[in-house]
Amino acid sequence: MALTSMPKIVRKASGVAEYITVPETTTGQTFVAGELVYLSGGRAIRVASNGQVVMGIAQEAASGTATTTPTVTIEVIRPEDEVEITCSTTVAYTNMGIGYPLVIVDATSCKLNLAAHTTEAAVIVRPVLNDDGQFTTRAIVHFSHPVCQSVTGA
């Protein structure tokens, strides 16, 4: 998976990047660096379908091993942070201010689903334009307070 399709924080509301190091889950975790993750029992897990909870962006790939206690660094996402993310279709100005859910597309790809309005995960702040000023499938979003694990402690 190309990192260009992964979410990335483009502006921290606090002005300071925030990282935490937590244990991975055990065998079978397959998230890659740049993928959205959340914490379950204090351990990092890739965001599940519909992305009900998001802690941040994994900075390393999961080892997928249970023989040790590996750790992973996460860049924490807060609701006021501006995050650039790929969307399911081209983003337009008419999408601004609307909340959309996340959807898992394949093993390492999570997108904002512009075809649905259920389980709002993020609100579009503005579309990302290409060098020619044309709309793309990328948008700048704010993750919703209930979805941000950094706020909810879920």
Give residue 147's identity as a one-letter amino acid code.
Answer: V
Residue 1 has what pLDDT? Answer: 41
SS3 content of the chain, % helix, strand, coil (to 5): 5, 40, 50
Domain boundaries, the chain: 14-76, 82-152
Residue 26 has what pLDDT? Answer: 60
Query: What's the pLDDT tens digit per position in 58-115?
Result: 998 887 765 566 888 999 999 999 999 999 999 999 999 999 998 877 766 788 999 9
Residue 153 clears pLDDT 70, i.e. is over it = no
Chain centroid, CA 44 distance in Å: 13
Question: pLDDT confidence of 50, banded at 50, 70, 90?
Answer: low
Residue 8 has what pLDDT? Answer: 94
CA within 13 Å, CB half, 128:
18
Residue 154 has what pLDDT? Answer: 53
Q: What percent of the chain has pLDDT over 90?
A: 54
Q: What pTM, to 2 d.p., does this model score? A: 0.88
Question: Where would I find the H helices in the chain?
Answer: 149-152
- Sign of the alpha-carbon dihedral angle for 77, 140, 79, 42: negative
More confident of the two residues 16 and 106: 16
Residue 11 clears pLDDT 80, i.e. is over it = yes
d(C-alpha 120, C-alpha 146), whole Å: 9
Residue 128 clears pLDDT 90, i.e. is over it = yes
Residue 75: φ, ψ to 5°: -85, 115
Question: pLDDT confidence of 9, banded at 50, 70, 90?
Answer: very high
Contact (CB, 8 A) for 150 and 78 = yes
